[in-house]
Amino acid sequence: MSRHLLSVDSLTRDSVNHLMHVAARMEPIAQRRQVTRVLEGAVLGNLFFEASTRTRVSFHAAFCRLGGSVCDTTGFTFSSMAKGESLYDTSRVMSGYCDAIVMRHPDQGSVAEFAAATHVPVINGGDGPGEHPSQALLDFYTIDKEFTRLGKKLADAHVLLTGDLKYGRTVHSLIKLLSLYDPMRITLVAPPGLEMPDYLIDLVASRGHRVEQRTSLADDYADVDVVYTTRIQKERFTAEMSEGFSLSRDFTVDRAFMDKRCGRDTIVMHPLPRDSRPEANDLDVDLNGDPRLAIFRQTDNGIPVRMAIFATLLQVDELIEKDLRPVRWFVPERVGVDDSPL
Ligand code: NCD
């Protein structure tokens, strides 16, 4: 694996498999059964210049669960970028303070520019509509775990990606990551104007996958194994696009769609947040509590996967086993009301 994690382009099937293996070893720590201090003394710089809850907090929590400490800054307003500081200068300064840096920024390519000015490992936490590689890794880890539970295989799987495929960076990274594996079927359904960029479709097709674009969810998806739906990224629309845009209910993944169109063990994923305002027509809350809804298992998986990324980039992945101790505080059996015991 390269020094930074900026794009799925730098990953190979072997490096992904290694990260998945390390993530599985992190599970007892993520599930609060054991503790480790392998990153004791290390400091993470967590720089978020765009809205975030789970990515920012889970990177922070993952670093803490490895025994490290975290410094963060959120939003441009309270950073020196508001005073006109360049990415180069911020990067040079932060690398004097921190041992690893996570950055999210609204401009595509900005995190790579930031990383070019430092020798400290940098992780892209999302660069505008570009990429979100750690999300793709946790999505892949989720698919793998769910398939193992359901007795399914990745080869020949059928994955449906829907929602905003143009600006959704999570689907850009995920489709690249899936393309590293044995040929599968990938179906893309986007509202008009929000289709997956052609260069990504060409890349995936050139690696032997069957990619099909459809215009509607009102179709037969009985053999789909994964429905991966995404929020419309309105904040990235031009003024012209925003004018009068509203997402038709036809693109909503809800219980009726799952019951009528999909299989009994089709899983539903979403990078979250889902836009729960009724007019948004995002993933419906009527699937809450349905075991097919994997979204909260997916967010939980963010911790072991991000721990694995840090441990690998900072080269302590071989030390974890030697450093484990049992947890001493009270840990509830389950963490959330809707958590299915899968
Ligand atoms: C996504 C993101 O920021 O790209 N969220 C996340 O990181 N889990 C998806 C989104 O904002 O819609």
pLDDT at 97: 97
CA distances, 297 to each of 269, 293, 331 (Å): 9, 9, 18
Q: What is the largest CA-CA distance in the chain?
A: 58
Least Cα distance to 106 among 51, 54, 171 occurs for 51
- Residue 181 has a pLDDT of 98
**Would residue 125 be called left, alpha or beta, if left means φ above 0 and alpha means ψ between -120 and 50 degrees?**
alpha
**pLDDT score for 161:** 98
* Cβ proximity of 226 and 160 under 8 Å: yes
Cβ of 55 below 6 Å from ligand 1: yes
Question: Cα(97) to centroid of ligand 1, in Å?
Answer: 27
Helix ranges (H only) for the chain are 13-30, 54-65, 87-97, 110-115, 133-150, 169-178, 198-206, 239-242, 255-261, 295-313
Atom number in ligand 1 closest to CA 230: 12
What are the strands of the beta sheet with 158-162, ordered from one edge? 210-214, 185-189, 158-162, 226-229, 267-269
Q: Do strands 122-127 and 158-162 pair parallel, antiparallel, or not at all (unpaired)?
A: unpaired
Please tell me the total number of residues recorded for the chain in this structure: 342
> Does residue 60's CB lie within 6 angstroms of at least one atom of ligand 1?
no
Ligand 1 centre to CA of 254 (Å) is 20
Model-level pTM greater than 0.95? yes
Rounded to the nearest whole angstrom, what is the distance from the C-alpha of residue 69 to the centroid of ligand 1? 24
CA of 273 relative to ligand 1 center, distance in Å: 6
Backbone angles phi, psi at 24, to 5 degrees: -60, -35
CA of 51 to the centre of ligand 1 (A): 9
Whether residue 156 contacts residue 198, with contact meaning beta carbons closer than 8 Å, is answered with no
pLDDT averaged over consecutive 10-residue blocks of the chain (342 residues)?
95 98 98 97 97 96 98 86 91 97 97 97 98 98 98 96 98 98 98 97 98 96 98 93 87 97 97 94 96 96 98 98 95 82 70
Ligand 1 atom 8 nearest Cα? 271
- Which of 46, 55, 194, 230 is the best mutation target for the ligand 1 pocket, counting ligand atoms within 8 Å of the beta carbon and taking the most? 55
- Ligand 1 binding pocket includes 170 (Cβ within 6 Å): yes
- C-alpha R_g of the chain: 20
C-alpha of residue 271 to centroid of ligand 1, in Å: 6
pLDDT at 198 (0 to 100): 98
User: What values do phi and psi take at 231, rounded to 5?
Assistant: -75, 145
From CA 274, how far away is CA 284, in angstroms rounded? 9
C-alpha 158 to ligand 1 mean position (Å): 23
Q: Please tell me if the CB atom of residue 298 comes closer than 6 angstroms to any atom of ligand 1.
A: no
How confident is the model at residue 245, as a pLDDT? Answer: 86
Query: Which residue out of 46, 123, 132 has the highest number of ligand 1 atoms within 8 Å of its CB and is therefore the one to mutate?
Result: 132
Q: What was the pLDDT predicted at 78? A: 77
Closest ligand 1 atom to Cα of 164: 12
